[in-house]
Amino acid sequence: EVHRRVLLFRVGKPAEDAGTRLDDDDVRRVRHGARGLKLLNPGVTRVLTSPWREASEAGALLAEALDVKAARISTTDALLPVAAAFEIFRVLSSFVGSDEAVLVVGHAGQLDRVLALALTGDRTPVTPTRRGGAALLELDDLPRPSGELSWLLPLKVLGKL
């Protein structure tokens, strides 16, 4: 049985394609959220992002703010908007250290399904994540998607910490 802290962070507007870059407002939002996340000190040791450009750019900004080395940033197809929600749990279970806290940077819809699957066992979203919003999950028994929600914070709250 593997226990892991997983921090979900939703990037900007739903991407239209893999090449969409973060615009200036999105960069500002990511940096704003990153400051709040740093104060919450989730102890992130690894960053996983969707291979789509906006998520990988956001992941790099967040990793820098949270002092995660570039070598600890990875992309995974399990975070593509069309990926099955359970795939990310398989990826998370592949890491050896159960003490790792992993930041997962993904897209609208996909992160909502991942959150729902972890909390209810069903992919039907229970709460929407908003742009720049973050949620901390305490997962257990990976790769089975099961866990508890420690917190869910919109960007407005993260930015005021």
Note the pLDDT tens digit of each residue in 7-16.
999 986 666 6
In order of 15, 62, 102, the CA distances from 7 in angstroms are 21, 11, 6
What pLDDT was estimated at residue 102? 93
Lowest mean pLDDT among 13-22, 57-66, 79-88, 113-122: 13-22
Which residue in this structure is represented by tokens 């740093």?
38
pTM score: 0.91
Q: How far apart are CA 22 and CA 4, in angstroms?
A: 29
In percent, how much of the chain has pLDDT > 90? 53
Most confident by average pLDDT, 53-67, 92-106, 134-148: 53-67
Which residue in this structure is represented by tokens 């994540």?
129
What pLDDT was estimated at residue 126? 80
